[in-house]
Every structure is written in structure tokens, then in C-alpha cells.
Amino acid sequence: MSHDHSHDHDHSELSEIELRVRALETLLTDKGYIDPPALDELIETYETKIGPKNGARVVAKAWSDPDYLDRLRRDATAAIAEFGFTGRQGEHMVIAENTEDTHNMVVCTLCSCYPWTVLGLPPVWYKSAPYRSRAVRDPRGVLAEFGVTLPEDKEIRVWDSTAEVRYLVIPERPTGTEDWPEEKLAELVTRDSMIGTGLALNPATLEVSS
Amino acid sequence: MNGAQDLGGQMGFGPIELEENEPNFHAKWEERAFAITLAMGATGSWNIDTSRHARETLPPPIYLSSSYYKIWTLGLEKLCLDKDLITKEELASGTAQDPAKPVKQILKADNVAAVLAKGGPADRPENAPARFKTGDRIRTKRMHPEGHTRLPRYARDTIGTIDAVHGVHVFPDANAHGRGEQPTWLYSVAFKGTDIWGPDSDPKLTLRIDLWEPYLDPA
């Protein structure tokens, strides 16, 4: 997209950062470093194709298929690639399984590392200073703000993702879902439950709403 | 470096602000900042460690008071200037004056899916035996390097246990500064909350941090 930004009305309507991004985009486009249709394609991809529904399918299969869970444990990158979820910010995947004794939670204290291939782009809170500073020191306090209270004797295992390894939390499978098909199970898997700031939905809430 | 990015354990940032049905982008400029950053990354003019370092070296007051995509934008401006892809005059005017520098690749729309699917794997062939194995006790180094590092301050000079061996990966501390990839072993290291935070820690807290071999000594 080409911009005409020498007019005063731009300055009266656009914020400093809007002008700054617009100027940079115009300059990089004029220099030929970037191709505007590719920018639109990048945005479209993360708006419509890559998001937490990918991860929910992985979790639902892990819950239903012991062989698949075994493949995830041995090589999560390859097992997740079976769905076609590969590449940027998912090059090296590892799963962290919640159990009766252990709850897993993921943070990147140094920036915003996040498994894009299975969860899409991270929410603002994940990238924010309050979450990044507190998740490693006071995870129970953080969980309380998300409305999650865990038994005091449950281990909380926090993963600080400093490298290119990306973690996908496999939440505990809710009871009462033993005969559910994968597609229906996936509806119980929220984005937050795969970061560890939430739990899988209660099946009763789903049955009421569907 | 001990920049504003190293947030683990810092206090005083207040509660987490949650948003119902949060969109990926809150404004058009965020979409554009996201896309130009990825597209410029695809030109191959720098690596992920260089770009992280560019953001980390923003002055702390600016880093801490800027939204996420603003940090990306300021980092991208810095990278483009550092690599002489643009000049300060061009950035100030928003108009191209000098001819473009050759870059390795220009990302085209047809190619976006393939480039994203390929990603940028950081694992490399084994080049030396691993110094540690699962179960070994280690102590993280006491260090405060001025350059890039992925050993968070809160986890320095602390005893932990090797929990998993991830293989040989690009070493960010070197790669961020044009000193090559210097691949080295990467480990998942387990720490007790009390070993990091002391007696005030939640007794049932443990942490796992991905750490490279040069950060670790036998304990």
C-alpha cells in the first residue's frame, strides 16, 4: 500500500506510532525489501488459519489415542507435524502433561516465545510485564487471577521458554468424557488450558450450550 | 544483557489485565508492524537472536512503556539502520533516497505459506559429546554479560538438575553478535522454587528453564 503522508490532516488523525509504522512500511516498500501482497497474506494467515484450534486438535487426539500420546512424548514436533502444523515458532515442540499431582504453566520471561503453530499469536497478557515477571515467582497468585485454584499440595511446574523449544500443555482430560469423539473433546480445550493458565472446560457447560 | 526485557521475578507491575475475546490485533498499525517485521526477517538480513537483542537494547524506560508491537517497530527500525538497509534521513522523511542494498530474498505472497511452514529450526548436528546427562546436578554461572544472553538473571548462580537433553542448538550469545552460530548443547534444567526464590517461595513450585551448556558448571 502506498501512502501520502505529507499532509497535515494525517498528523491530526493518526497517532505517533501509526505514522511511524506507516512511514517505515512505505520506505521499505519503496526500497523493494517488502512486497505489500505478502504482508496481507501474513496477516490473513494468522487471522484465519493458525490459532488455538490447531492445538485443541492435538490435545483431543492425545486424550483419545494412546499411541498418539506416546508419539507426542517421544517427539512432539513430529507428532504435531502429522496434522500439518509445522514451522515458525513451532520448530521444536515439547509437551508438558498435567496430572493429578502436577500442573504445568508456560511463560517467556525474556520476550514472548510462544508456540505459534499450535496456538497462533499470543494474547497481550502473555507478552505483558505483569505475567512475565510474576509467572515464575508467584504462579499460584497468577492462576488465581485467571480464576484457577489448585490444591495446595499440587506441584506447579513453570516452564520458562528461553530457547527455540516451544511447550504445549496437555490439560487433564475432564471426567465424564470417556465416550466422546475427538471433535467434541477439542471443544473443551481452551487456549489458556494449553498455556497452563486455565483448565479444560467442564463438559457440563458444553452440553448446556450445545 | 541486564536489560528491561529480563522480567522474571521483578516486582511492582501489578495485576494481569485480561480481555474477553481478545483480537490478534487491536489496530491496523499492529497488523502492519507484525507483517513488516516478519517480511523483513525473511530477507535474511539478520537472525532471530539479533532481532531479540535489538529489542532488548531499547532504553528501559522506552521498553517498559511501549506496547508489544511498538517494541517490534522500534527494534525493526534499529535493525534496518544497523544493517544499512535504510538511512536515518530516509527514516525521518519516510522517502527512499539511496538505492536499495541487495538482500537474500524478498518474500512474495505465493511463498508465505511455504516460508512459515519451514520456519527456522535451531538444532544442528552434534559436534562434541554432551557434558551433562539427565539427572546431573549443575550450578548456573554467575555472569552479567553486556551482550545477549538467554540465562535470565533470576536463575544465575543457582543449583539445578538436568531434566532433559534437547540436542545441539544455535548459541544465541554468539549468534546475536555476528560471531556465527557456535552450536552447543541445550538442556532443560529443573530448579526448586526455594533454590531460586529462597524460603519465601511456594514449596510446591519447580521451574524448568532451557539453558545452553556454556551457562552451566557441574555442581
pLDDT of residue A205: 84
SS3 B66: coil
pLDDT of residue A94: 98
* A32 band by pLDDT with thresholds 50, 70 and 90: very high
**Chain A residues whose beta carbon lies within 8 Å of the beta carbon of residue B10:** 129, 133
* Interval B140-152 mean pLDDT: 98
**Chain A residues whose beta carbon lies within 8 Å of the beta carbon of residue B56:** 110-111
CB nearest A164 (choices: B34, B122, B204): B122
CB pairs A-B closer than 8 Å:
265
Query: Beta strand B205-212 with A155-160: parallel, antiparallel or unpaired?
Result: parallel
d(CA B109, CA B80): 22
Helices (H) and strands (E) in chain B, counts: 8, 6
Query: Residues A4-29: pLDDT tens digits?
Result: 444 444 456 789 999 999 999 999 99
pLDDT of residue A209: 54
Cβ distance of A129 and B64 shorter than 8 Å? yes
pLDDT of residue A13: 77
pLDDT of residue B60: 97
Query: Residues B157-216: pLDDT tens digits?
Result: 999 999 999 999 999 999 999 999 999 999 999 999 999 999 999 999 999 999 999 999
Cβ distance of B121 and A160 shorter than 8 Å? no
**Chain B residues whose beta carbon lies within 8 Å of the beta carbon of residue A101:** none
Alpha-carbon distances of B70 from A9, A16, A18, B169, rounded to whole Å: 23, 10, 10, 29
Catalytic pick from A12, A111, A133, A193?
A: A111
Place of cell 511452514: B117
Cβ distance of B204 and A86 shorter than 8 Å? no
Q: Per-residue DSSP letters for A93-113?
A: EEEEE--SSEEEEEE-SSS--
Query: Beta strand A102-107 with A155-160: parallel, antiparallel or unpaired?
Result: parallel
Q: What is the chain A residue with the closest CA to B206? A: A157
A112 part of the active site: yes
A158 pLDDT higher than 50 = yes
Interface of A with B in 180-199 (CB under 8 A): none
Cβ distance of B29 and A22 shorter than 8 Å? yes
A113 part of the active site: yes
d(CA A205, CA B45): 50
B8 pLDDT higher than 50 = yes
CB nearest B152 (choices: A87, A94, A109): A109
A136 touches B: beta carbon within 8 Å = yes
Cβ distance of B207 and A136 shorter than 8 Å? yes
pLDDT of residue A14: 85
pLDDT of residue A15: 93
C-alpha cell at A144: 488465581
Measured in whole angstroms, the distance separating CA B164 from the mean position of its chain's CA atoms is 21
Residue B80 pairs in a beta bridge with: none
* A206 band by pLDDT with thresholds 50, 70 and 90: confident
d(CA A136, CA A145): 15
pLDDT of residue A207: 66
Q: Is residue A145 within 8 Å of A174, Cβ to Cβ?
A: no
Query: Residues B25-76: pLDDT tens digits?
Result: 999 999 999 999 999 999 999 999 999 999 999 999 999 999 999 999 999 9
A88 touches B: beta carbon within 8 Å = yes
Q: Is residue B100 within 8 Å of A33, Cβ to Cβ?
A: yes
Q: What is the chain B residue with the closest CA to A89? A: B119
Q: Is residue B202 within 8 Å of B127, Cβ to Cβ?
A: no
pLDDT of residue A208: 60
Measured in whole angstroms, the distance separating CA B124 from the mean position of its chain's CA atoms is 18
A12 part of the active site: no
| ipTM for the assembly | 0.97
* Interval A71-89 mean pLDDT: 97
Query: Beta strand B123-124 with B205-212: parallel, antiparallel or unpaired?
Result: unpaired
Our CA dihedral for B70, A130, B1, A158, rounded to 10 degrees, sits at: -120
B115 pLDDT higher than 80 = yes
* Interval B13-25 mean pLDDT: 95
DSSP type of residue A45: I
Measured in whole angstroms, the distance separating CA A188 from the mean position of its chain's CA atoms is 16
DSSP type of residue A201: P
pLDDT of residue A3: 47
* Interval A203-208 mean pLDDT: 78
d(CA B23, CA A170): 24
Query: Residues B65-105: pLDDT tens digits?
Result: 999 999 999 999 999 999 999 999 999 988 999 999 999 99
d(CA A96, CA A73): 9
Rounded to the nearest 5 degrees, what angle is found at the Cα of B30, between the Cα atoms of B28 and B32? Answer: 75
A1 pLDDT higher than 50 = no
Cβ distance of A162 and B116 shorter than 8 Å? no
Catalytic pick from A2, A15, A113, A209?
A: A113
